[in-house]
Structure 1
Amino acid sequence: MTLQRIAITPAMVRGAVELEETGRGLLPHRLPRWARRQIPDRFMVQTSAESAGVRLALRTAADVIELDVQARRIADDAEAPMPPSVYELTERGAVVATAAVPVGSRFVFTFDRPYGEVAPGPDATARFTGLGTGTERDLELWLPYYDAVELLELRADAPVAAQPDSGALRWAHHGSSISHGYRADTTTGTWPAVAALRAGVHLTNLAFSGNAMLDPFTARTLRDTPADLITLKIGINLVNGDVMRMRAFRPAVDGFLDTIREGHPATPIVLVSPIWCAPVETAAGPTIQDPDRAEEWSIAGGTEADVLTGHLSLQAIRTELAAIVDRRQDDDHRLHYLDGLSLYGEQDAAATPLPDNLHPGPDVQRLIGERFADRVLIEFTPELQRSST
């Protein structure tokens, strides 16, 4: 069977804030070029380049679709076997086909060797078959959240066009590795994608693993990103790295919100506090690996006494975020607070523990996504929209 080549147009790509023409294809970015030049470390170079929430929105009657890619994944070394990357097709919020694709290039990085050297690898093809029903349908082709993916060529056995804008609510979200999707099986299993598919909204996921640090360039990116709703899940990375004291945290949150408001004066913003994480609920960070356990397991590197001197715990962050929103609501009625414990709390942790004492596994990723869709995107968002009219 001969497949026709389909031009990949910017109108097809959703969930990216910028598209780079590489000479071979299109490279989606979740930070604009000026912001990428301000990234402070090599780990964020890779995590911000990864394709969390990025997808192609296609309208076609094709039975076969192929996508050639050059993908790059973070790895401990350049040689160890790695599981394939999973590309997914969804229709009306449900996964209808998947394709497992061998890993291409590698971004060789560990925190002991933080150099971030690229080991080049081959291009690969995601192939989907048995799709056709004889009539056009709207499909979204989701890229793997853990790979940086350059889009090289699209082929199909029928014409393919970009989906027209449906007018669905545009949701921009910022968060940590939990929102990025770390430990989810696939991109559509990450909690923001679960929520977006369940609620039928357009997601732009600006979550960067290990890097929800209240960076000014992230705030400016959100300021400039079209959105009908903005949600900010703040806290765990600040504790992970023990990078900030309460004295700096308060004005940093205010400044982050002030910057976003410059571009979104009337857009509803929901500030979301951290989900349950037992080691640092009342103790200060940093989170460190338990030296007495062979497997990955996080414990607190600080103490409860440290919190009394201005260090951050999750309880302290929740209290302060709620107070910031309460104070700012005198002048900003479209700013709201959501307690992260309503998404995953202590009772949830007892029933479904975090596999490394820090990150949700696939089951909890889905639980958080479903709760967020029902409590914010489906129920809370209409109220926010009414308040902005």
Structure 2
Amino acid sequence: MTGPVWITTPVTADLLRGALDVERTEHGVLPHRLPARARAQCSDAQLLMAESQPSGVRLVFRSAATTVELDALPTRRTYVGAPPRPDGVYDLLVDGRPAGQASVTGGGHTLTVDLAAGSSAFCPGKPGTVRFAGLPGGTKDFEIWLPHNETTELVALRTDAPVEPARPSGRKVWLHHGSSISHGSDAASPTGVWPALAAALGGLELINLGLGGSALLDPFTARALRDTPADLISVKIGINLVNTDLMRLRAFGPAVHGFLDTIREGRPSVPLVVVSPILCPMHEDTPGPTALDFTTVAEGQPWFQPMGDPAEVASGKLTLRVIRDTLARLVEQRSAADPNLHYVDGRDLYGEADAAELPLPDGLHPDAATHRRIAERFAERLLGL
């Protein structure tokens, strides 16, 4: 008995959704969530890692295939002294419904990070394969959501039936920017990240610019938002500014105004939602920076802790309470001339009662159940817009 006749389809930008740029590499293509011009303006390793991790990026096509194979080259992170991290998960949707999960087998680069020393070592690897088999017959719409927390080069797409581009979805495009929570920290899989869940609940086409550790009001991110066509834009602002202790209150308000002004240069009337931080007890009244408690790393459940002094708020240091108060006033001020500007208090998405029921496992990031709760609550607000 002969096996399937494989058809190889080049992975090109027209098969990808959720990426703002696609880089040709030695092995294939690397989706980016920030354009090349933005990447050229910042050499920060955290930002470059975050934007290359394809949260919300998916391979989309139509086919009658019953077996699909995707050769990919992931970059897997390991941490000195910590248990191994699970491999990145690929979620398959067929006609919009979950149809399988898998991970790349037999390949990948490895990035070993020594948090205590502040150093890393890169070990190159080879591509591996993720496989979905036993799928129903007939022409159908495929979406392969790439791992939200694993930089992924796409090498080859193979199917046992021809592939054609997906039809336009007809859904409104939601463009979202936020921190590691929006990026997907501690979510179980790429479709379990809260913006992906909210988009599915709201029937929206997601472009997720959640950038772990990097929602810092960077002008190049504002320009990326300005230049990306969308029917709805949201920006979740605050926690990373506290984590990094990046700026003081004097700079914060003008920086937010400038960020929103830039977006409005290209999208003057699109509904624009400013979202303040969800509840994070450690930083409600204590400023940053935030530090990792290295004694917890080996246990497999790291814990973050605040390093600032509440007394420093008087001299302009930022806390989440200060940020929420400032954002609420700023949006109220601007909305008189911008009726399509809206404010959502992050504590309405995850507040004190939620923290008692579903505490943040590492003190900073929500677990999978909390991602769903945040998504359900935010989807209600999106539908209202």
Q: Which band: TM-score by shorter chain?
A: over 0.9
CA contact (8 A) 1:43 1:109 kept: no
Q: CA deviation at 1:291?
A: 7.1
Q: CA deviation at 1:259?
A: 0.9
2:186 is the alignment partner of 1:183? yes
* Residue number in structure 1 paired with 2:221: 218
* Residue number in structure 1 paired with 2:232: 229
Residue correspondence of structure 1 range 208-357 to structure 2 within 5 A: 208-290=211-293, 295-357=301-363
What SS does the corresponding residue of 2:143 show, helix, strand or coil? strand
* Residue number in structure 2 paired with 1:128: 132
What SS does the corresponding residue of 1:239 show, helix, strand or coil? helix
Structure 1 runs (4+) greater than 6 angstroms displaced: none
What SS does the corresponding residue of 1:266 show, helix, strand or coil? coil
What SS does the corresponding residue of 2:210 show, helix, strand or coil? coil
Moved more, 70-79 or 251-260: 70-79
Q: CA deviation at 1:71?
A: 1.3
2:126 is the alignment partner of 1:118? no
Return 5+ residue gaps in structure 1 as ranges. 382-389
Moved more, 78-87 or 278-287: 78-87
Q: CA deviation at 1:109?
A: 3.1
1:197-255 residue CA offsets vs partner (Å, 9 max, x unmatched): 22221111111111111111111111111111111000000011111110000000001
Instruction: Report the AA paired with residue 266 of structure 1.
Output: S
Q: Distance in 1 between matches of 2:77 and 2:51?
A: 12
Q: CA deviation at 1:84?
A: 2.4
2:141 is the alignment partner of 1:138? yes
2:173 is the alignment partner of 1:167? no
Among 370, 374, 377, the residue aligned to 2:376: 370
Provide closer, same or farther for how the CA distance between residues 117 and 263 of structure 1 changes in structure 2, counting only shifts above 3 A.
Answer: farther
Provide closer, same or farther for how the CA distance between residues 78 and 240 of structure 1 changes in structure 2, counting only shifts above 3 A.
Answer: closer
- Give the length in aligned residue pairs: 378
Identical columns (%): 47
Among 39, 44, 50, the residue aligned to 2:42: 39
- TM-score between the two structures when normalised by the length of structure 1: 0.92
Provide closer, same or farther for how the CA distance between residues 39 and 110 of structure 1 changes in structure 2, counting only shifts above 3 A.
Answer: farther
CA contact (8 A) 2:18 2:57 kept: yes
Q: CA deviation at 1:43?
A: 2.0
Residue correspondence of structure 1 range 16-165 to structure 2 within 5 A: 16-76=19-79, 81-102=84-105, 104-133=108-137, 135-165=138-168
Moved more, 33-42 or 74-83: 74-83
What SS does the corresponding residue of 1:31 show, helix, strand or coil? coil
What SS does the corresponding residue of 1:109 show, helix, strand or coil? strand
Instruction: Report the AA paired with residue 353 of structure 2.
Output: Q
Instruction: Report the AA paired with residue 286 of structure 2.
Output: A
Q: Distance in 2 between matches of 1:27 and 1:289?
A: 30
* Residue number in structure 2 paired with 1:204: 207
Q: Distance in 1 between matches of 2:131 and 2:317?
A: 50
Provide closer, same or farther for how the CA distance between residues 116 and 161 of structure 1 changes in structure 2, counting only shifts above 3 A.
Answer: farther
What SS does the corresponding residue of 2:256 show, helix, strand or coil? helix
What SS does the corresponding residue of 2:291 show, helix, strand or coil? strand
Q: Distance in 1 between matches of 2:349 and 2:81?
A: 37
Provide closer, same or farther for how the CA distance between residues 136 and 343 of structure 1 changes in structure 2, counting only shifts above 3 A.
Answer: same
